[in-house]
Amino acid sequence: HPNSGYKLMKMESALNQLKKHTVVVADTGDFNAIDEYKPQDATTNPSLILAAAKMPAYQHLLDQAINYGIAKGGTEEEQVAHTMDKLFVTFGLEILKKVPGRVSTEVDARLSFDKDEMVAKALGLIALYKEAGISKERVLIKLSSTWEGIQAGKELEEKHGVHCNMTLLFSFAQAVACAEAKVTLISPFVGRILDWYKENTDRKSYEPHEDPGVLSVTKIYNYYKKFGYTTVVMGASFRNTGQVKALTGCDLLTISPGLLAELSQDHSSITEMLNVEKAKACDLEKIHLDEKDFRWQHNEDRMAVEKLSDGIRKFAADAIKLETMIKEKMLDVKNGQ
């Protein structure tokens, strides 16, 4: 019978199909969870590092960072700060053993409104990577997409050749300012935009192609490609695989291990949704934003204003939780426990 072998021909996984159009990135601090999905890069943030630092499997990394911080000396505050930086980089180093590409390491969100402090913190992280034998080409420094964060990104790229990943990006104004700052990469959020619309409007469900987060990233991608910006777009913050699939063709997508697992088990067919040809044909107008235009346009987007400030508060709160954890463990070490 001509169809006898037909049932055995299973469609390849959605994950493998996605990889033909888009660079797949793992969004996690739990680097033991990424091996099987073979991502190109990985991204971390303060909340993901906090989650991983609580896991028994990673206690030795926390201990290592604490010993480093104590050895650095100074006040308790300084020791904690050194430990935090070292911890972020230590997770980054372990991740780089698992991925061929780059790791994203985030600057403390409490510096989100201080350009010079963000630049200094970024250079400190890059120096720690260099000390461990990792060149700055394999690291992306994550910065909040505040006006100050975007200007810090511009300075790091121009003056120091440090590659930046602009995060907590929710508004079109943020995306335009990042393009004009010529940063390496942006991470426009998807899931957190959907969250906001569910919480603040009567509408509780969206099909992927009409999802407000998907529409936001699509518009940003189209704008960048239409006007030839070199900054690449990495969609981030996903709530379901439908959102991921709806952005097939985006330069990169950073995806949690949970959703990578779902995509690897999913055998439905995937189509390219974003590409340069479509982008060139879209009817967006080129705009330029100075600081006051940026602040005004971003402020006109209530969702983006609320989500950016909420995101900064949450990352800051998790940084404080991590510091508290470090202080407690430091006391144990110093008391010889």
Task: Compute CA 73 distance to the chain's CA centroid, rounded to the nearest angstrom.
Answer: 32
Q: What is the dihedral of CA 100, 13, 232, 169, to 10 degrees?
A: -110
Query: What residues pair up with 252 in beta bridges, in sequence order?
Result: 23, 234
If phi over 0 gives left and psi between -120 and 50 gives alpha, with beta otherwise, what is residue 335? alpha
| Residues belonging to the active site | 142
How is residue 79 annotated by DSSP? H
CA angle (175, 180, 182) in 5-degree steps = 95
- For the beta carbon of residue 57, count every other beta carbon within 10 angstroms: 11
Q: How far apart are CA 80 and CA 71, in angstroms?
A: 11
How is residue 31 annotated by DSSP? G
Helix (H, G, I), strand (E, B) or coil at 278: helix
